[in-house]
Amino acid sequence: MNRIAGYRPPLPGTQPNHLHHPYVSSIKRAPTKPLVPIPYTLSEVTGPTFGTEIVAPKASDLTHGRSGEPLGERIIVSGRVFDEDNRPLANTLVEIWQANAAGRYLHEVDQHQAPLDPNFTGCGRAITDAEGRYRFLTIRPGEYPWRNHYNSWRPAHIHFSLFGPAFATRLVTQMYFPGDPLLSFDPIFNCTADEEARSRLISVFDWESTLPEHALGYRFDIVLRGRDATPMEE
């Protein structure tokens, strides 16, 4: 029989619990019964794959495609996607979405009293190259208020969605910006106990990718789960 090598469990504290009371929306949505541990099977170590043709080359340029330039500060967000063994993950689909410079999403549910930008949709996608690299040209998103608690504001952030090589490696996360004073107040950023793990959600200013007289660069590397070295015993 074939034994299946699974994926390593996370280091304790580096992933959020489902229930995080300060994040009010989790209270009625977090499972209350213990999760049932299951062994890895072919269903979890396979997963959707996408060819590079699924993403248009310009899909990684969020400043492009409208009649004019979006408002706000142009930034480059780039980084590498790799696994816990430091192996680059090539051909991985990366999807991002974000608010505009004024802190408003192009979404019918977002009624924040800040202007929409006719030249900014706030969504992009890319496929990582052979070294696991991705790169987006976008606008620095604005902070915005939400109704979690009195005077609550989300720090500036960009949402990321990644698939990786298997169903087991699927990840949705958020990227933050260095020095944001709102981070310490944010229950979503702070849902993870491990400080070092939280700090890796904060991008770093990157002089290397900064484009002279055009856009500041921020680097955000993303790590997906690594494979168990040996197949699981049953």
Q: 183-212: which residues touch other proteins (CB under 8 A)?
A: 188-189, 191-192, 194, 197-198, 200-201
166 lies in the site for other proteins, by CB under 8 A: yes
Distance (Å, whole) CA 115 – CA 117: 6
The span from the CA of 169 to the CA of 44, in Å, is 9
**How many chain residues interact with other proteins (CB under 8 A)?**
84
Question: Is the Cβ of residue 39 or residue 68 nearer to other proteins in the bound state?
Answer: 39
Q: How many CA atoms lie within 13 A of 234 on its CB side?
A: 7
Instruction: Tokens for 97, please give them.
Output: 């979405």
Q: How many CB atoms lie within 10 A of CB 29?
A: 9
Please tell me which residue in 157, 198, 225, 227 is annotated as part of the active site: 157
Is 105 a residue of the active site? yes
Does the active-site annotation cover 112?
no
Distance from chain centroid for Cα 27 = 23
Cβ-based neighbour number of residue 129 at 10 Å: 16
Stretch of 11-19, 67-75, 132-140, 207-215 contacting other proteins, by CB under 8 A: 11-19
**Single-letter residue type at 34:** P
Residue 75, Cβ density class (10 Å: 0-12 exposed, 13-18 middle, ≥19 buried): buried
Nearest distance, CB of residue 213 and other proteins, angstroms: 29
- Looking only at residues 114 through 143 of this chain, which bind other proteins when binding is defined by CB under 8 A? 121-125
Site pattern 50..79 for other proteins (x: CB under 8 A): ------------------------------
State which of residues 152, 174, 209, 210 lies at the interface with other proteins (CB under 8 A).
174
Q: Output the CA–CA distances (angstroms, integers) from residue 56 to 4, 53, 74, 124, 134, in the order listed.
A: 35, 7, 21, 10, 14
Sole binder of other proteins in the list 21, 41, 68, 145 (CB under 8 A)? 41
> Annotated catalytic, 150?
no
CB of 69 to other proteins, least distance (A): 19
Active site residues: 105, 144, 154, 157, 159
